[in-house]
Structure 1
Amino acid sequence: MVVGDFNQILSANEHFSVLPHPLPLTGMSEFSQCLMKNDLSDLPSRGAFYTWTNNQPDDPVLRKLDRVLVNDHWRDTFPEAIATYDSPGDSDHSPALVYTSAHIQKNKNSFKYFSLLSTHPRFKEIISAAWSEQTGVGSGLFTFAQKMKNVKASCKQLNREGFGNLQQRIKESLEQLESIQAEMMRTPTDSLFREEFVARQTWNFFAKALESFYREKSRVGWPRLWLHFLTRGSVGH
């Protein structure tokens, strides 16, 4: 299996532009011959057809530059394999994901701690209460894991209550951007290019606002916080 940005299209239908653009005919021919000689062809796919955009609203260009190529031996080994091309988001290329089974499951998002939480006036109170909760009987490592689980749940709740609005706006604006991009990458139109440009600007605005908010408001880092608790006995032993 060969995966990546090949910077080349195979046929004319893999290029879309509002203004006329010359096709790289020599490169297309050489790329096609290369795949034939190496017995490579596209893995069945879902999602976006075009995988690259130049992000130029005045002269938008879409092309299928990213591919997942396999040979017959790979197909025989993974007969149900499929590739999915997602919306590019803040990039100019669509990410390609390969599943060896046709049944695609979404992974759960991992927990991420943001130092922004430490600016909440009840942060220390809530973390201390979560750490002090009773846990099951077990080894020291087991007890520590249970306490950290309680802390994680409290952090999630605090994030929803204190900082949910801005993050929700970012999430919704990115979902809107990706939704427009998904349609644009399948059936591009002038209006969709304009909508994508506006949606990208909106997402960038909220993302930069949150970045600035984190930079200005974050005061206590996670390592410093735990050092403070451990040296003063605020959390416990």
Structure 2
Amino acid sequence: MDFFCSFIYASNFAVDRVQLWEDIRFHHSSPLIRGKPWMIMGNFNEFLTLDEHSGFPGSMERGTRVSHCSLTDLAYHGPKYTWTNKQGDSPISKKLDRVLISDSWLQVFPNSYSVYEAGGCGIYLTAPS
């Protein structure tokens, strides 16, 4: 079974992340990847929906980037937030790490899920048969 897996460690700078999403969109529509199982995992350095930030609302434009590429978050176990500023008096938590999958990924690996460790210490992928 052929599938594609991409690993991301996105820039802290928003302008660079815009380029990242353009690259993802380009590859998603390329003949090499189109219609095949594709997983993209790692630290995207941004939250995609309003409920992924504990402190203030985010931009809905981010979630739109994912939907334009027909990608969805893979089901997961573990904490919702994968990053914290570790400031006891002013805590902020965000979901920055994620596993995104194409529609065809779930057709081939329907029982797959990711596991996030507390404290942002890694992402594990499980695809039981």
Relative to the length of structure 1, the TM-score reads: 0.36
CA distance in 2, matches of 1:52, 1:82: 20
Given candidates 41, 48, 51, the residue that maps to 2:82 is 51
What percentage of residue pairs aligned between the two structures are identical?
Answer: 34
Alpha-carbon distance in structure 1 between the residues aligned to 2:80 and 2:111: 20
| Alignment of 1:23 onto 2:57 | yes
Unaligned runs of 5+ in 1: 103-237
Per the TM alignment, residue 68 of structure 1 is displaced from its structure 2 partner at its CA by 0.5
Matches within 5 A, 1:141-160: none
Give, as a single letter, the amino acid of the residue that structure 2 aligns with 1:6: F
Structure 2 residue 47 is the aligned partner of structure 1 residue 9? yes
Give the counterpart letter for 2:48 in structure 1: L
Q: Which amino acid aligns with 1:50?
A: Y
The equivalent position to 1:42 in structure 2, one of 73, 87, 102, is 73
8 Å CA contact retained: 1:52, 1:94: no
**Correspondence for 1:171:** none
CA contact (8 A) 1:80 1:100 kept: yes
Does the 8 Å contact 2:49/2:58 carry over to 1?
no
Match of 2:123 in 1: 96
Aligned partner of 2:114 in structure 1 is 83
Q: Quote the RMSD (CA, aligned, Å).
A: 1.6
Q: Which runs of 5+ in 2 are unaligned?
A: 1-38
Which structure has the higher relative contact order (CA within 8 Å, separation 6+)? 2
**Structure ranking higher in helix proportion:** 1
Once residues 91 and 58 of structure 2 are traced to their aligned partners in structure 1, the CA distance between those partners, rounded to angstroms, is 17
Return the alpha-carbon distance in structure 1 between the equivalents of residues 53 and 43 of structure 2.
15
In 1, Cα distance between equivalents of 2:40 and 2:74 = 10
Secondary structure of 2:124's aligned partner: strand
Count of residue pairs brought into register by the alignment? 91
